[in-house]
Amino acid sequence: MMQDKAFPVSWDQFHRDARALAWRLASAGPFEAIVCITRGGLVPAAIVCRELEVRLIETVCVASYHQYKTQGGLEVLKPVSDAVLGIGGGGGKGVLIVDDLVDTGKTATIVREMLPDAHFATVYAKPKGRPLVDTFVTEVSQDTWIYFPWDLGLSFQPPISGGSG
């Protein structure tokens, strides 16, 4: 079994990457609302909405990672509000969906069904989910596990090669 590759992301790096996402999105708008996919989309959505000066922020709550590193079944805990669903005559035109990562694309597929005409953006993308997003900053391999700054503490990291010194 191949060991997953670790990709730890610091707060500074994540902030830079989220601002880079906003930079790319600036010409794709204007957007009337941002829908962030909780929980991972909350931080990049805060940065993107500030940079693009969008004031209408909504959440869609989808639970997918029920156990550490194991993607289980999906459950929509809170759908998008009717107010956001009605933007652009329905379908999500003029709405920006933001998440931290698209992995297998299962969560993205569910949210895309809610807002098929929205612009979908993630900070990071893996190959299986990448076709579902319109804009992203960095693509990582499918076997890479991204450690986001909100999941990390400071600790020793062993060398990548696995050697002892």
Task: Please list the active-site residues.
Answer: 99-100, 103
CA distance 104 to 107: 8
Q: Which residue has the tokens 């999906």?
A: 74
pLDDT of residue 72: 62
- Please state which of the four CATH numbers 3.40.50.2020, 3.30.470.20, 1.10.3080.10, 3.40.50.720 is assigned to the domain occupying 5-151: 3.40.50.2020
Q: Model confidence at 1, in pLDDT bands (50, 70, 90)?
A: very low
CA distance 69 to 98: 21
pTM: 0.86
Q: What's the pLDDT tens digit per position in 14-67? A: 999 999 999 999 999 899 999 999 999 999 999 999 999 999 999 999 986 555
**∠ at Cα 161 (155, 165), nearest 5°?**
70
Instruction: Give the three-state DSSP class for 73.
Output: strand
For CA atoms 53, 135, 24, 26, give the dihedral sign.
negative
Q: What's the pLDDT tens digit per position in 83-119? A: 898 888 888 999 999 999 999 999 999 999 999 999 9
